[in-house]
Structure 1
């Protein structure tokens, strides 16, 4: 008997083949002239076999399934063995790369335009081995940017990389951010927010720092980034990151308020506590007037406050900061 062909992971037995198998099992009849395609599929899968005396004979599906599983497990084991050998095979190249990196310490690379920057970032982040520190100022990240980042960041976390990401407080107002943060923190990342100005930067293994160049070292209107290959500079920038990190608030921590507040409401309360007007906060957070009024009304009811000033005071008393 010819052994069954190992099916792909999504192998599906057609309705015609399933009906033919059931008909042969219940009635004992042989396939008819119109069953050629179903017969071919069942033979390829090892579910029927040719017998010179009896014609086509059914094969126990449990036996066929066991053969499939054994073959798939064997293939998976071989792939795992190959995967484990990849690092060892590339180790000599890594030594060469590290030697070259040591020779080029202090080298500053310049990249202009999002495509070139992202290409270089993919290379650098793919080689991150122990620690990734990220500063993302501004508001919430766009959904398409989040989708691009998730796979890359999760891959780093699976390699055992420690990942700390700092966002501005305004990022809490993004609808997609909470889901993104849940995924990343579940994988081991730590994410905090800081209600202060800070610069965008990425520090990789405290040996490479990626910093923006637009408006700092160049007058170009295009997005510009500098990759600084210097452990001294990267370490200096990392220490600045650590100072900001200590003052930052973990994403899930909204103070000891009487109820859990979402990121938008926390941002509104912080604006009020800082002396901003309702209109100023709405413009800054890009909230429509009606939505802003509804949020204020909910917060007043939550904190039993009559005025905005009273609301800000009660929030501070409840542990808001």
Structure 2
């Protein structure tokens, strides 16, 4: 049994030392932490820090409930000497709440059921701890093209999740089907039991963990998706969004059923792609326009700026030799390009 596997010693009060408090603040700021640093053993004994799976030396604070459960289990197990230990738990948790509130990364209040996390790093910190501790299910709606660097880093973590029995389901847009790094990721995770589906419909990004926590982009302050995300814990809101995911999942096409043309392309498909006047990105934008979406909505799904969407449409209009988006949309609706399964 390693030191990190041992239960806390109830003979010692569950409290932060001054040294461990300083180390905790560094961890909350996202700084690299070494296990031989003073104060680390105190935090490890209390179960306060959790190693982030795919960033060496980075630790995040465990969920408050997980800390409390671990400490209370240890106290019950050693009840004969645990009276002082039990008395100190409430004070420790209050202390931890106070430290979380004092840091830039910790904005959550224990009474809040939904709160906004500033910055992508802050979002990753919050999600990593929850994903690491996931017990049953992770469901994701991922609009637009998936980035190679992100998927490559996610493979070890997600393979480990499905191997330990966590149900992993992801909905992608069809534009990802022919992309090699996306196909490698899907193959690796699906081999362990992960499930993937694709759709042509517009999507809004969402990550759901154990049907208890949901992360979504900002729809209140109008902030860009890179500004951060909302962490939703309200049971009614989570249940409603979970049902929406289940409906979207039923409407989507299983990855293996949709991916045939890239596995065994026939001459007709190859000829159609060769004769296409538009690119895959332009067809994605045009499908969105035909569905009544704005440039802002389409750009958010693709992870590109509005001016890039506008530039793509200008290029498509020039290729087709029309002057307006209305004329371009009419051409697309009746052209062979629309039938291409990007």
TM-score using structure 1 length? 0.52
- Match in the other structure for 2:131: 125
- Match in the other structure for 2:182: 177
The reply to whether residue 220 of structure 1 matches residue 236 of structure 2 is no
CA deviation profile, 1:280-306 (whole Å, cap 9, x unmatched):
35452699x9xxxxxxxxxxxxxxxxx
Task: Using the TM superposition, give the Cα deviation of residue 109 of structure 1 relative to its aligned residue in structure 2, in angstroms.
Answer: 2.4
CA deviation profile, 1:249-281 (whole Å, cap 9, x unmatched):
1111138xxxx4118979x97xx8xxxx93235
CA distance in 2, matches of 1:247, 1:97: 44
CA deviation profile, 1:22-78 (whole Å, cap 9, x unmatched):
xxxxxxxxxxxxxxxxxxxxxxxxxxxxxxxxxxxxxxxxxxxxxxxxxxxxxxxx6
Q: 1:234 aligns with which of 238, 259, 265?
A: 238
- Match in the other structure for 1:201: 206
Q: 1:279 aligns with which of 277, 280, 287?
A: 277
Task: Using the TM superposition, give the Cα deviation of residue 199 of structure 1 relative to its aligned residue in structure 2, in angstroms.
Answer: 0.7
Larger Rg: 1
Rate the CA distance shift 1:283–1:164 in 2: closer, same or farther, 3 A.
Answer: closer
- Match in the other structure for 1:16: none
CA distance in 1, matches of 2:71, 2:233: 13
CA deviation profile, 1:102-144 (whole Å, cap 9, x unmatched):
x9475222112221111111112112111111110112x1211
TM-score using structure 2 length? 0.49
CA distance in 1, matches of 2:236, 2:120: 27
CA distance in 1, matches of 2:337, 2:228: 45
- Match in the other structure for 1:211: 216
Task: Using the TM superposition, give the Cα deviation of residue 229 of structure 1 relative to its aligned residue in structure 2, in angstroms.
Answer: 1.5
- Match in the other structure for 1:6: none
CA distance in 1, matches of 2:116, 2:162: 27
Q: What SS does the aligned partner of 1:197 have?
A: coil
CA distance in 1, matches of 2:144, 2:337: 29
CA distance in 1, matches of 2:239, 2:151: 27
Gaps of 5+ in 2: 9-44, 48-64, 73-89, 98-108, 285-311, 317-334
Q: CA RMSD for the aligned pairs?
A: 4.3
Task: Using the TM superposition, give the Cα deviation of residue 93 of structure 1 relative to its aligned residue in structure 2, in angstroms.
Answer: 3.0
The reply to whether residue 245 of structure 1 matches residue 249 of structure 2 is yes
Q: 1:142 aligns with which of 118, 139, 147?
A: 147
Rate the CA distance shift 1:311–1:177 in 2: closer, same or farther, 3 A.
Answer: closer
Gaps of 5+ in 1: 1-77, 290-307
